Amino acid sequence: SLRGGSTLRDEAAGVAGLITPWNWPVNQVMAKVASALAAGCTMVLKPSEYAPLSAGIVAEVLAEAGCPPGVFNMVHGDGPGTGAALSAHPEIDLLSFTGSTRAGQMVMTAAADGIRRVALELGGKSPNILFADADLPTAVQFSVENCFSNSGQSCDAPTRLLVESAVYEEAVSLAERFAAAVKVGDPQQPGEHIGPLVNALQFERVQGHIRAGIEEGARIVTGGLGKPDGFETGFFVKPTLFADVTNDMHIARNEIFGPVLVMIPFDGEDEAVRIGNDTPYGLAAYIQTGDPEKAQRVARRLRAGNVYINGNYADTDVPFGGFKQSGIGRENGPLGLEDFLETKAITG
């Protein structure tokens, strides 16, 4: 209640259209479905056509848990067909989409005619700022392994490793050692290794990015074009490390979505922040330093929705989302719930 006899009431926004990607399918589905259910929305989920099976299991779990008929609905299909139809459907009240920035732009366009609300979690080209006062071996190992995790197919992967010039060459040597130790293997076998990319189209896109980096004069430290030895069948990519990259190069500007890390030197905090923010994206940023005050100072200056310091990750109740072309709105926690609510003021 407010002064003057007014009451604010949060109500379900209505019918939610949910469009989710293939790279973390259960996580991305549940981040939307759980919030929509908690808000009281009914929903239509379109999971990625490249990863539909886990969404089917989620549907079975919801049915067994007693979710009322008509509250959770699922349709399968591709983006240009089913996704576009869902985005433009007049009975959808809001759209929550996770995927590429290019596809997010199309969702916004499709939703515009009906002035439907849109929540977007899109791409990233996240800076990972490594200062000379960090524990260098630990920081470099984290930086390499986290970039290559999930075969590099993560929207918030720390794909630009910015290193203070005083320790740059040492960091390159360490990164070479750690990158060369990353193993490629059969995803159906247990063990510490990365698997293939999702499909042939993504494989060719990543090869094109690597080729562009070579043509622009970046130095390949490990990896490169082609498939790893012994993995001619399947969409496997060599874990690739580029050094001597400048932030205007293709491989520093574009989201590669594969196991490709670029290293860029910098001098001082101001240049680190300038390079870190010099991107159309703003999903995540990473800081490696032994100085807690510097970490907080730099974190406040970075234009990113999530900043991770010295390998620490947020809990699931912390909102996730980005600035600029990385999206609109947040997922998880109270702010994620708000995307599925409308606020009504009742006076008198």
Domain boundaries, the chain: 6-122+322-347, 127-309
Q: For the residues of 303-337, what is the DSSP string, one character each? A: --SEEEETT----TTS-B--SGGGEES-BSHHHHH
Residue 132: CB atoms within 10 A of its CB come to 15
Instruction: Give me the pLDDT at residue 251, please.
Output: 98
67 token code pair:
């979710």
Strand 6-12 to strand 341-347: parallel, antiparallel, or no bridges (unpaired)?
antiparallel
Asked if 122 and 107 touch (Cβ cutoff 8 Å), the reply is no
Asked if 31 and 340 touch (Cβ cutoff 8 Å), the reply is no
187 token code pair:
């995803």
Asked if 50 and 24 touch (Cβ cutoff 8 Å), the reply is no
**Residues catalogued as catalytic:** 121, 155
173 contact partners, CB below 8 Å, separation of at least 6:
none
| Site of tokens 């260098």 | 136
- Regions of the chain short of the pLDDT cut 70: 1
The alpha carbons of the chain give a radius of gyration, in whole angstroms, of 22
Closest by CA position to 251, among listed 202, 218, 294, 291: 218
> Which amino acid appears at position 87 of this protein?
S
Strand 219-222 to strand 117-121: parallel, antiparallel, or no bridges (unpaired)?
unpaired
DSSP 184: B
- Record: fold of 6-122+322-347: Aldehyde Dehydrogenase; Chain A, domain 1 (3.40.605)
Asked if 75 and 56 touch (Cβ cutoff 8 Å), the reply is no
Instruction: Give me the pLDDT at residue 315, please.
Output: 85
Helix (H, G, I), strand (E, B) or coil at 133: coil
Q: Alpha helix locations (H) across the chain?
A: 25-39, 53-64, 84-88, 101-112, 136-148, 168-181, 200-215, 250-253, 268-277, 292-301, 333-338
Q: Which CATH class is domain 127-309?
A: alpha beta
Same fold, 6-122+322-347 and 127-309: no
Instruction: Give me the pLDDT at residue 1, please.
Output: 63
Task: Say what angle helices 25-39 and 53-64 make with each other, to 10 degrees.
Answer: 30
Largest CA-CA distance found in the chain, in angstroms, rounded: 74
> Which amino acid appears at position 8 of this protein?
L
Please tell me the distance from the alpha carbon of residue 192 to that of residue 185, in angstroms, as a whole number: 8
Q: What angle do CA 41, 42, 46 make, to 5 degrees?
A: 115
